[in-house]
Amino acid sequence: MKKLLAFTLVFVSLVLATQAQTPAEEKLKKAKQETKEAKNKVDKEAKEAKADVKKEAKEVKAEAKDAKDKADKKVKEAKEDVKKETKQAKDNVDKKAKEVKSDTKKAADKLSKKDEAEASLATRTKVAGADKSIGKDAKGRTIYVGTKGGQYYINSIGNKTYLSEDSKLKI
């Protein structure tokens, strides 16, 4: 029985010795667990930081899009304003051009009316001198024959206006 008791005691101490951890092993196990917990904490904080960065990036992107949209809208408005101003300027230029054209036409009509009108008898006698009168044209102007055979009339200003070949009177 002593043997049995000694054998049991040796067996229990062996079991306890094998199961019992040394202080170094306990420290190692505790360090591993703390490391694991620290890693999990860091990973969690990194995920949170990444989520915050993504959120801020979305906000910045939205702000940039809003700023771009506002700038595009201002550019579009400026283009429309320039188009309106250009159209107004073109209309003004066209209006002025029509006025100038009308004034030019009136002046040309006035000049042609002066050319069509005949000078006074005294002016005609003075300018024509000894040239022979050969008749009147369709407009009632007196036609003269010059020294070299050219046909002309005296316009309202008192100048000789020679007729073209197709306008000449047949003698």
pLDDT of 115 higher than 80: no
In angstroms, rounded to a whole number, what is the distance separating the alpha carbons of residues 143 and 156?
14
Strand partners, 132: 145
Which amino acid is located at 7 in the chain? Answer: F
Rounded CA-CA distance 171/166 in Å is 13
Six token digits for residue 113: 């009316």
pLDDT digits (tens, 9 = 90+) for 12-50: 777 666 665 567 777 788 888 989 998 899 899 989 989
The mean pLDDT value of the chain amounts to 83
As a whole number, mean pLDDT of residues 122-134 equals 79
pTM of this structure: 0.36
Residue 165 per-residue DSSP state: G
- Residue 84 CA to residue 37 CA, distance in Å, equals 70
Give me the pLDDT at residue 143, please.
Answer: 92
pLDDT of residue 84: 92
| Res. 131: pLDDT tops 90 | no
pLDDT score at 23: 72
Tell me which amino acid residue 40 is.
N
Q: Is the pLDDT of residue 113 over 60?
A: no
pLDDT tens track for 43-90: 999 899 898 999 998 999 989 899 899 989 999 998 999 999 999 989
Q: With left for phi above 0 and alpha for psi between -120 and 50, is residue 135 left, alpha or beta? A: left
Centroid of chain to Cα 122: 68
- Reported as a pLDDT band with limits 50, 70 and 90, residue 158 is confident
> What pLDDT is stored for residue 83 in this prediction?
92
Cα distance between residue 118 and residue 140, in whole Å:
8
